[in-house]
């Protein structure tokens, strides 16, 4: 199978002199492990930042909720059981043997596991320093998110509002499967880098 020819949006991979959190900008990064442990000590629905010795990237899309900069975990996993309102599927067009094209999911933004974060504890990912295969995937993900940024922002805002208000259809499902946004907003800036926080057993 061959991939469909698409115009690729070129990601800004230069070092960021001002801030990772910029309106309208899509940026990928790793999270400091100790800070991740701190956040998971508050809410273990915060996604583990390292799995099987490999960093798991998150994405900043300039979403500000209740005055806090939020980040959204990126995963290569996807389940049809996940509610559409809690995820954003990243897709690509793949050419089949008969010449037709189908859309395939290559990764997913876990909007339900988004959370506020300190910029000092996240590390910008320079695509050009990654392996060729991973760099190619990162560019595809960047391209798709950038083209559909309004949808990502809309989902993030609606889910945050629903969970914070505690109202609406299937609210228990949304609250049980989302980070505790209000609690994390209250605690995420109280991190002390001089303390080594314990690793919390993985659930996400």
Question: How do the domains of the chain map onto residue ranges?
Answer: 2-6+13-190
The CATH label, of 3.30.2350.10, 1.10.10.10, 3.90.1330.10, 3.10.129.130, for the domain at 2-6+13-190 is: 3.10.129.130
Q: Is the pLDDT at 3 greater than 70, yes or no?
A: no
Mean pLDDT on 84-111: 89
pLDDT score at 80: 78
Mean pLDDT on 25-29: 93
pLDDT score at 13: 42
Q: What is the DSSP string of 139-166?
A: HHHHHHHHHTHHHHHHHHHHHHHHHHHT
pTM of the model: 0.85
Q: What is the DSSP string of 87-126?
A: EEEEEEEEE-TTS-EEEEEEEEEEGGG-EE--GGGEEE--
pLDDT score at 192: 98
Q: Is the pLDDT at 7 greater than 80, yes or no?
A: no
pLDDT classification of 55: cutoffs 50, 70, 90:
confident
Q: Is the pLDDT at 156 greater than 70, yes or no?
A: yes
Structure tokens given for 52: 């099987």
Among the listed ranges 2-16, 34-48, 138-152, which one has the minimum average pLDDT value? Answer: 2-16
Average pLDDT value over all residues in the chain: 87
pLDDT score at 10: 44
Determine how many CB atoms are found less than 10 A away from the CB of residue 34. 17
pLDDT score at 203: 58
Among the listed ranges 11-15, 36-40, 49-53, 66-70, which one has the minimum average pLDDT value? Answer: 11-15
């Amino acid at each position: 199978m061959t991939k469909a020819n698409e115009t690729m949006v070129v990601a800004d991979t230069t070092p960021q002199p001002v801030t990772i959190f910029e309106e309208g900008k899509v940026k990928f990064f790793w999270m400091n492990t100790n800070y991740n442990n701190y956040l998971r000590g508050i809410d273990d629905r915060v996604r583990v930042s390292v799995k099987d010795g490999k960093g798991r990237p998150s994405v900043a899309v300039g979403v500000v909720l209740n005055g806090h900069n939020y980040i959204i975990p990126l995963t290569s996993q996807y389940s049809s059981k996940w509610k559409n309102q809690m995820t954003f599927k990243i897709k690509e067009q793949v050419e089949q043997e008969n010449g037709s094209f189908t859309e395939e999911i290559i990764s997913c933004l876990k909007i339900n596991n988004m959370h506020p974060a300190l910029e000092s504890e996240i590390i910008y990912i320079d695509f050009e320093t990654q392996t060729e295969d991973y760099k190619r995937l990162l560019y595809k993900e960047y391209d798709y998110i950038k083209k559909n940024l309004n949808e990502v922002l809309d989902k993030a805002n609606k889910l945050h509002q629903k969970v914070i208000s505690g109202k609406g259809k299937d609210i228990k499902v949304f609250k049980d499967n989302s980070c505790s946004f209000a609690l994390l907003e209250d605690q995420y800036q109280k991190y002390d880098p001089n303390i080594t926080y314990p690793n919390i057993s993985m659930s996400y």
